[in-house]
Structure 1
C-alpha cells in the first residue's frame, strides 16, 4: 500500500524506536490510549500489549479495513476501537466520556501544531502526550530561548525532548530527522485564580494568549514596543505605565518576549490587567 503524500504519511518501521515510544508513555493495563494516524498498526500492536483500551483515529479510508482485519480479535474483545475521520474534527469528550487518557502517536508533521494546541486546550485534556514530531519542532518546544510555541505548551504541561529519530527509520524516508517528544503532567492549573494583594484575579486562556501573541508579534522589537502597538487596543497603556510595571516585576525595559518564562507572562498579565 502506497503512502499518501497529501496526508503526510511516513510509516515508522524501527522496532527499537516503537519500543522507546511505548516505554516513554509508561503504559499500564488501566490506561486508555488515543493513537492518531495509526497507519498500518505497527505502534498500535505494541500499545495493545500494554494498555487497557486503544482508540485509533485514521483519516485514510484505505487503512480502515486493513486495521479492522488485522486487529479483528482485539476489536471483538472491545480492547480496540477503529474510527475513520480527521482527528481535528473530533473533541476528546466525544471519544472518551469519563476516562483519563494518554495520546501516543506518530502524527503527520504538517498538523503537529494544530494537534498539540487542540488537545492541550481541550476541556478534557490528555494526562500525557508522547508524539513523534520533527526534530526542530521538538527542540523549539523544549529549548531556550522561548517562543510562542514553547510557552503555549509549557503553560499546560512539562515538555521533554526524549530522543532523536533519524529519517532512515521511516518509510518513505522524510527529508528531516524526527524526535520523540513527551508532554507530561498536563493540566490547566496555570489558569487557576491568583491572589494579588486583596484581589483575586482569574486568568482567562483567551485573554492570556492574546497578550502572549502580542508580545511575540515582532521578533526584533522589545516587549514594551510590541505591547504598545499590538496589545493595547483601548490605548490605556503607554510606555510610562509599562516601564513602571516592568520595574515592579524586575523586568529590563529592553527585554524581549523570548526572555520571559511562563510565570513571567503570568505575572505580567496580572500586573497590567
Structure 2
C-alpha cells in the first residue's frame, strides 16, 4: 500500500492518482462490509480478498465506517498489502453523543490523532491517499488542509483528497496544498457536482464518485434498461460504463459485500458505449 504502482499500462482503464498510484478505474467501496464476528465477517474477508485477486487496485474506506472497524477488517483481510494496492481512508468526522451519532471535527490536533489511529488500524506507516471526509464549518479550511499537508511532509500521508466539496472549496484548498482527489456524489441521474468534475478534469485530479450506481432508476421501459438489453448487460453495469466514458478522471468505487455483485461491477470495465448510446443516456439526467 505504500509503493508506486507502475504495472498498469497507459490505457483508458487506468488513472494515475497524484502522479504516483496508477490504479484500475473501477475501484471498490468497502463501506458495506459487515465487521462483526462470525460467518458474516468471514464472508467480508473473502470479498475483500477476491476484489484484489480480481484486479481491484483502489479500495475506499473511512474512519466513519464502523468507527475504524472497516479499516481493521481490511487490514485483517489484506495485510501485508500488495505493492499495487491503494487503500484510501477518510478523516474529519468523529463519533458524538448527538442525535446523528457523529460530528464534524477537523481541528488540526484532532486530524492528526485520527490519522495516527487510522495508520494503526490499517497496520501501515503511510496512507497513500487520505481524504477529508467533510469540511468542518467551524475550522478555517486552510487550517484543515494545512494540518494534512504537515502530515504529508512527515511522510504519514502520500496524497490529500477532499469529499463533498464545491468547486470554490476545491480551489481554496489547492491554495494551501496539492489536492490529488475529490470524492463527491455523482452518477448519471445526479450531476449536481458537474462544476467540480470540470475543475478536476482541468487539473488532472481524480474524481471518485460515491453512489455511482443510482439507487432509484427508471422502470423497465427506460432508456437505461433498453441500452442494457442491447448490450447484454445489467443496468448497474451501464451506469458504471457511462461514468468511465464521461470523463477520464472518474474512478467509480461501487460498494458491495457480495461476490456476485463484485464480479458484475468489475465486468463493467469491459463495456463500451458508442456515441449514440451515450447521447441517449445523457438525456436521462435530472436538471442540475
The TM-score normalised by the length of structure 1 is 0.36
The TM-score normalised by the length of structure 2 is 0.34
Compare the two structures and name the one with the higher helix fraction: 1
Q: Which has the higher contact order (CA 8 A, sep 6+)?
A: 2
Q: Which has the larger radius of gyration?
A: 1
Compare the two structures and name the one with the higher strand fraction: 1
